Amino acid sequence: MSDGDVIESDRAHVWHPYTQHGSARVPLAIKRAKGAFLFDQDDRAIFDGISSWWVTLHGHAQPEIARAIAEQAGILEQVIFTDFTHEPAAALARELSAVLPGDLSRCFFSDDGSTAVEVALKIAMQYWSNVGEKRPLIAALENAYHGDTFGAMSVSGRGLFTAPFQDQLFEVVRLPDPSAGDVLAVLDKLIADRGHELAAVIVEPLLLGAGGMHVYGEQFLRDMRERARRSGTLFIADEVLTGFGRTGPLFACERAEIEPDIICLSKGLTGGFLPLGLTAVREEVFERFVSDDRSRMFFHGHSYTANPIACAAARASLRLLNKECKARRDAIEAVHRERLKHLSTHPKVRNTRVLGTLGAFDLADSSGYLDKIGRALAEYALRNNILLRPLGGTVYLLPPFCTLPEELLNAYEVIARFLDIS
């Protein structure tokens, strides 16, 4: 198809996510990608400063992952995962269990980040039902984002994203954002007052992503996990964004030296090539579902559970998370720290922060997610061959791990020019 045909077909038939079609610009047609760059129909190279919504881990069209996908597609592309298994899923579960923090030895496959969270919530609730206790409450952080399905929305921060569905969301006990409030005091009171009702605490460890790229301290995470442990409450770590090296180590929980009861994974799981979700639990949690009584099994599944091609991609991506990859992540972090230190003196910049391969700051006087300043920056950056997608007045860079220092420095230079002229 020509560029015009792609756009015409898109405008006639496609409904884009998080897009107001009454005012959005014509979408840009991308024909190929390589490394840290996207290429449009005119072969213009565009630096992917956000890893295409945080999924592209090692770079676009990464050859080892592409090869693994092609090989697996010619062997076994799909099989029902109830009563059957296959090498890509079994091997991936074994390999992940070896690198996940703690005793997360049982892996349940799903389709994406939202479903990985739904699985975790349902496991936590049925766990208590299976042990004969009624624990209907989930505690979650203010400003959290866990996905767009109903359970995931329920445990996400309430606001613009969830307002149309408010009456259909289940009750959640809200804990303060650890970057802004005394989460521990509120959690202590909750456990003292209603600990016997509390099924689980769910957190985005160290980084509240879509809620504004809020970074909080490792000690807060350790203290929350310890309180959950002492009270017997399950602790769920949503590492859909933070997993696979984004925060420095392979997992944010590893950085904070904690071991959750349940972990949710997606996005970078396949290196960004294919959708795949995974929820891993401790063996003790899994054992509560094992019985001669079929009514105690976990009632959940998806048509594409443990798709062999996606699992093959994930195994290839996992092999690439080696020492050389860690060195590249460290180089990205070094550029973030140097450039954000410089930008921190700009009158339009506040609250600079770095966490592994994430660099972020807030624009002074921004009015929130719908503030036009973020959109203006995104448009300016794209005209200068940089893909950004600010969260309202929160500007961030989260590039693929293959990014070279000079490529990231150029992105910061474009941002700096915008700040000077806006």
- Per-residue pLDDT of the chain (422 residues), as tens digits, is 776 899 999 999 999 999 999 999 899 999 999 999 999 999 999 999 999 999 999 999 999 999 999 999 999 999 999 999 999 999 999 999 999 999 999 999 999 999 999 999 999 999 999 999 999 999 999 999 999 999 999 999 998 889 999 999 999 999 999 999 999 999 999 999 999 999 999 999 999 999 999 999 999 999 999 999 999 999 999 999 999 999 999 999 999 999 999 999 999 999 999 999 999 999 999 999 999 999 999 999 999 999 999 999 999 999 999 999 999 999 999 999 999 999 999 999 999 999 999 999 999 988 777 888 999 999 999 999 999 999 999 999 999 999 999 999 999 999 999 999 98
Residue 3 has a pLDDT of 66
- Which residues are bridge partners to 397 per DSSP? 359
Instruction: Return the closest-CA partner of residue 108 out of 88, 95, 98, 123.
Output: 123
Q: Any idea which residues carry the catalytic annotation?
A: 18, 145, 238, 267
Q: What is the pLDDT of residue 422?
A: 86
Q: Which amino acid is at 138?
A: I
Topology alike, domains 3-61+322-421 and 65-319: no
DSSP 8-state assignment for residue 225: H
Contacts with 411 (C-beta within 8 Å, 6 or more apart), sequence order:
47, 49, 381, 386, 388, 397, 399
**Residues in a beta bridge with 391:** 394
Alpha helices in 288-389 (DSSP H): 308-319, 323-343, 372-383
pLDDT at position 370 is: 80
Domain residues of the chain, as ranges? 3-61+322-421, 65-319
Q: How many CB atoms sit inside 10 A of residue 93's CB?
A: 20
Interatomic CA distance for residues 265 and 94, integer angstroms:
15
* Rounded distance between C-alpha atoms, residue 173 and residue 142, angstroms: 10
**pLDDT score at 114:** 98
223, burial (CB in 10 Å: exposed 0-12, middle 13-18, buried 19+): middle
Spatial separation of the C-alpha atoms in residues 386 and 381, rounded to whole Å: 5
Answer for the pair 46, 38: CB distance below 8 angstroms, yes or no. Answer: yes
Q: What does the pLDDT read at residue 144?
A: 97
Residue 261 to residues 157, 199, 420: CA-CA distances in angstroms? 22, 12, 47
Q: Which CATH class is domain 3-61+322-421?
A: alpha beta
**Beta-strand pair 234-238/207-208:** unpaired
Give pTM, 2 decimals: 0.96
Q: Which CATH number fits domain 65-319: 3.40.640.10, 3.30.70.1400, 3.50.50.60, 3.30.1160.10?
A: 3.40.640.10
- 313 and 69 Cβ atoms separated by less than 8 Å: yes
The residues that bridge with 32 in the sheet, in sequence order, are 39
Give exposure, 135-156, as e/b (b: 16+ Cβ within 10 Å). Answer: bebbbbbbbbbbbbeebbbbbb
DSSP E strands, 142-261: 173-175, 198-203, 207-208, 214-215, 234-238
